[in-house]
């Protein structure tokens, strides 16, 4: 019997965390609506209205990976406190400027850029905190509801924002946004995260970024999820970016109509969040996603041609359903497919492409709307969305092995007999196997998988060679930059990579386990004190 999709909320700590995140997300969306409608009030063009979405999405696209990297390096709590304080200050400044009628289109876009920057820094670390409440086996449901948190706020928040703007003005929306950050600051300030004892120095910032990118590039599931989510967001953002223009130009309405349309979108989103688990039990993953893409495309077409408000409301609600179904599926799949050591970076990279898609789509649909009209822009976006439904035929995500991503802490670092420190290197590792001729095909298949996991965890220059005299002897060699990197590589081993290692060991027919050597690479003429020394003179 399936459990309720709201089951994770029975955990009191997670519920508090979830509500704080929901408050912050609502504030963000309310601020975004205030900025969008204020841009219209300031005489902004359709391109400038769409650029409000771009100005928020662009910094998130550019800074999510650095934000995730900082979170993995210095801890989620510290980064969340700094970033949320910055967000609150910017929101207060924006509210004061709006109250005093001091905002211009340029200043408004600048402030929304700063808001996006703060979001980019705090969001990956905040999302990765789910592991503080649940084991990996129980985390998928929590990740799904946490991903739905943002998307529910993206759906309902704008409706509330529209009502606030219509009733009190944009400055109230900005003030509410500033106050919404207090909940996250309160929860994060009281957070007691127990971080494992650090035996190694922090990974250099640049190396940590490269490690995150490398992991994604060598993870087929994460690559597919990221690409398909990017495609969806490029097309889907047309509704959010152009809805003010739909309200004004297609339906001949004002901020009240805009708010009602957003409310319909939000009702659809909440319905989808409650029905998502049941729908996933009925349909296969690819059918589920393809249906969401196609139906969203149809909803965009209806919004483009309908001048009857009730029909437009239905289309907006249907779009909200499909928005949540797709975003929750992609977002939760990304998180449960990432090991803990790289999860904030994985979320950061995913967010880079999500908001990159939003930024690109908002800009493109705004330009098309300015040149050919709002309806044409929605039709083109719908066509792109329909094509995206077919992408699943070629880039299938498949079933996930979440248990295989748990860490395996079986490796014990050897005690070096040479004088080296964490920064010493490069380090060359050599593993010697003895494999029977009949086992070579299976061995090569396993080593292909082992190569991918080694490089994904930090190795470089991986090679596999065979002795030309003793054909049963095989040598696996790989290099890392420093002794600290060598230790990190082994500490990142997961259950899945451990299975491969065990399978290879079973094929080894030598005495005991395969022989392992860790070597400090030295250049001729260098000695262990690390100082340059001249080569000895050799007489002819």
| b/e code 273-303 from CB counts within 10 Å (16+ = b) | beebbebbeeeebeebbbbbbbbbbbbbbbb
Q: Are residues 395 and 306 in the same domain?
A: yes
Identify whether 1 is part of a domain. no
The answer to whether 231 touches 353, Cβ cutoff 8 Å, is no
Q: Are residues 373 and 487 in the same domain?
A: no
Identify whether 494 is part of a domain. yes
Task: Tell me which of 222 and 54 has the higher pLDDT.
Answer: 222
Q: Does residue 236 have a pLDDT over 80? A: yes
C-alpha dihedral (147, 223, 216, 398), degrees to nearest 10: 70
CATH code of 144's domain: 1.20.1250.20
d(CA 213, CA 526): 34
Q: Are residues 424 and 437 in the same domain?
A: yes
- 371, 403, 435 - which closes a domain: 403
Q: Give this prediction's pTM.
A: 0.77
Q: In the prediction, which pLDDT does 445 show?
A: 94
Residue 531: pLDDT band (50, 70, 90) is low
Q: How far is CA 351 from CA 64, 122, 247, in A?
A: 6, 12, 29
Q: Which residues contact 320 (CB under 8 A, 6 or more apart)?
A: 155, 264, 265, 266, 267, 268, 269, 271, 272
Residue 311: pLDDT band (50, 70, 90) is very high
Identify whether 294 is part of a domain. yes
Q: In the prediction, which pLDDT does 43 show?
A: 67
Task: Flag the least confident range among 139-148, 184-193, 220-229, 510-519.
Answer: 139-148
Q: In the prediction, which pLDDT does 163 show?
A: 75
Q: Are residues 262 and 285 in the same domain?
A: yes
Residue 195: pLDDT band (50, 70, 90) is low
Average pLDDT of 156-183?
Answer: 77
Q: Are residues 389 and 480 in the same domain?
A: no
Q: Does residue 67 have a pLDDT over 60? A: yes
- 366, 388, 403 - which closes a domain: 403
**Ranked by mean pLDDT, which of 121-135, 236-250, 295-309 comes out on top?**
295-309
Query: What is the SS3 assignment for 518?
Result: strand
Q: Are residues 399 and 413 in the same domain?
A: no
Q: In the prediction, which pLDDT does 62 show?
A: 79
Q: Does residue 56 have a pLDDT over 80? A: no
Average pLDDT of 87-102?
Answer: 82
Identify whether 143 is part of a domain. yes
Q: Does residue 298 have a pLDDT over 90? A: yes
The answer to whether 433 touches 514, Cβ cutoff 8 Å, is yes
Identify whether 373 is part of a domain. yes
Residue 3: pLDDT band (50, 70, 90) is low
439: tokens are: 């086992």
Q: Are residues 369 and 317 in the same domain?
A: yes
Q: Are residues 300 and 367 in the same domain?
A: yes
Q: In the prediction, which pLDDT does 532 show?
A: 54
pLDDT in tens, 104-135: 777 888 888 888 788 878 778 777 777 777 76
Q: Which residue range is the domain that position 479 belongs to?
A: 407-520
Identify whether 534 is part of a domain. no
pLDDT in tens, 419-477: 888 888 789 999 999 999 999 999 999 999 999 989 888 888 899 999 999 999 999 99
For the chain, the average pLDDT equals 81
Name the residue among 24, 79, 77 with its Cα closest to residue 189.
Answer: 77
Q: Are residues 127 and 173 in the same domain?
A: yes
Task: Flag the least confident range among 20-24, 209-213, 395-399.
Answer: 395-399
Q: In the prediction, which pLDDT does 535 show?
A: 47
Q: Are residues 413 and 348 in the same domain?
A: no
**Ranked by mean pLDDT, which of 129-138, 253-262, 302-311, 399-408 comes out on top?**
302-311
- 403, 424, 448 - which closes a domain: 403
Q: Are residues 262 and 346 in the same domain?
A: yes
Average pLDDT of 343-365?
Answer: 84
How large a percentage of the chain has pLDDT more than 90?
A: 18
Q: In the prediction, which pLDDT does 534 show?
A: 57
CATH code of 431's domain: 3.30.70.100
Task: Tell me which of 495 and 196 has the higher pLDDT.
Answer: 495
Residue 410: pLDDT band (50, 70, 90) is low
Residue 540: pLDDT band (50, 70, 90) is very low
Domain count, the chain: 2
Q: In the prediction, which pLDDT does 497 show?
A: 83
Cα 233 → chain centroid: 13
Q: In the prediction, which pLDDT does 1 show?
A: 43
Cα 412 → chain centroid: 32
Residue 525: pLDDT band (50, 70, 90) is low
pLDDT in tens, 356-375: 888 788 889 888 988 898 89
Identify whether 256 is part of a domain. yes
Identify whether 503 is part of a domain. yes
Q: In the prediction, which pLDDT does 469 show?
A: 92
Q: Are residues 419 and 283 in the same domain?
A: no
Q: In the prediction, which pLDDT does 197 show?
A: 55
Task: Tell me which of 385 and 492 has the higher pLDDT.
Answer: 385
The residue assigned the tokens 């029977």 is 436
Task: Flag the least confident range among 220-229, 351-360, 363-372.
Answer: 351-360
């Amino acid at each position: 019997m399936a459990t309720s999709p709201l089951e994770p909320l029975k955990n009191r700590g997670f519920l508090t965390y979830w509500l704080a995140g929901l408050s912050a997300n609502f504030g963000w969306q309310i601020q975004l609506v205030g900025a969008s409608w204020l841009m219209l009030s300031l005489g902004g063009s359709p391109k400038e209205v769409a650029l409000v979405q771009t100005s928020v999405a662009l910094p998130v696209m550019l800074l999510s990976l650095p934000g995730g990297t900082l979170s993995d390096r210095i801890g989620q709590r510290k980064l969340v406190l700094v970033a949320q304080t910055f967000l609150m200050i910017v929101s207060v400044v924006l509210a004061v400027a709006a109250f005093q009628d001091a905002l211009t289109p340029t200043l408004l876009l600048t402030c929304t850029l700063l808001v996006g920057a703060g979001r980019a820094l705090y969001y990956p670390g905040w999302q990765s905190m789910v592991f503080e409440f649940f084991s990996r086996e129980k985390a998928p449901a929590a990740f799904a509801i946490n991903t739905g948190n943002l998307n529910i706020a993206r759906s309902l928040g704008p409706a509330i924002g529209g009502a606030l703007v219509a009733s009190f003005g944009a400055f109230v929306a900005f003030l509410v946004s500033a106050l919404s950050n207090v909940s996250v600051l309160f929860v994060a300030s009281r957070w007691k995260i127990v971080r494992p004892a650090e035996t190694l120095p922090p990974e250099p910032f640049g190396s940590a970024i490269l490690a995150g990118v490398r992991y994604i590039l060598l993870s087929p599931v994460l690559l597919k999820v990221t690409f398909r989510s990017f495609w969806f967001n490029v097309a889907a953002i047309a509704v959010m970016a152009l809805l003010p223009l739909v309200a004004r130009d297609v339906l001949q309405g004002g901020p009240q109509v805009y708010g009602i349309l957003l409310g319909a979108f939000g009702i659809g989103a909440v319905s989808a969040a409650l029905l998502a688990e049941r729908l996933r039990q009925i349909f296969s993953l690819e059918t589920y996603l393809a249906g969401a893409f196609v139906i969203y495309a149809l909803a965009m077409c209806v919004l483009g041609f309908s001048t009857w408000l009730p029909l437009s409301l239905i289309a907006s609600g249907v779009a909200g359903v499909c928005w949540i179904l797709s975003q929750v599926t992609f977002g939760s799949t990304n998180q449960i497919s990432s090991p803990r050591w790289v999860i904030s970076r994985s979320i950061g990279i995913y967010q880079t492409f999500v908001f990159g898609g939003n930024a690109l789509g908002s800009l493109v649909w705004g330009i098309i709307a300015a040149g050919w009209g709002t309806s044409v822009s929605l039709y083109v976006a719908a066509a792109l969305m329909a094509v995206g439904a077919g992408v699943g035929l070629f880039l299938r995500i498949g079933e996930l092995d979440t248990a295989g991503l748990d860490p395996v802490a079986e490796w014990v670092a050897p005690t070096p007999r040479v004088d080296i420190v964490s920064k010493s290197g490069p380090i060359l590792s050599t593993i010697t196997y003895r494999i029977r001729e009949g086992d070579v095909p299976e061995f090569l298949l396993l080593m292909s998988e082992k190569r991918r996991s080694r490089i994904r965890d930090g190795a470089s220059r991986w090679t596999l060679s065979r002795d030309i005299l003793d054909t049963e002897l095989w040598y696996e060699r790989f290099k890392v930059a420093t002794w600290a990197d060598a230790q990190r590589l082994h500490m990142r081993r997961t259950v899945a990579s451990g299975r491969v290692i065990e399978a290879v060991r079973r094929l080894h027919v030598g005495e005991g386990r395969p022989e392992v050597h860790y070597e400090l690479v030295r250049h001729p003429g260098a000695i262990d004190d690390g100082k340059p020394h001249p080569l000895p003179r050799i007489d002819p």
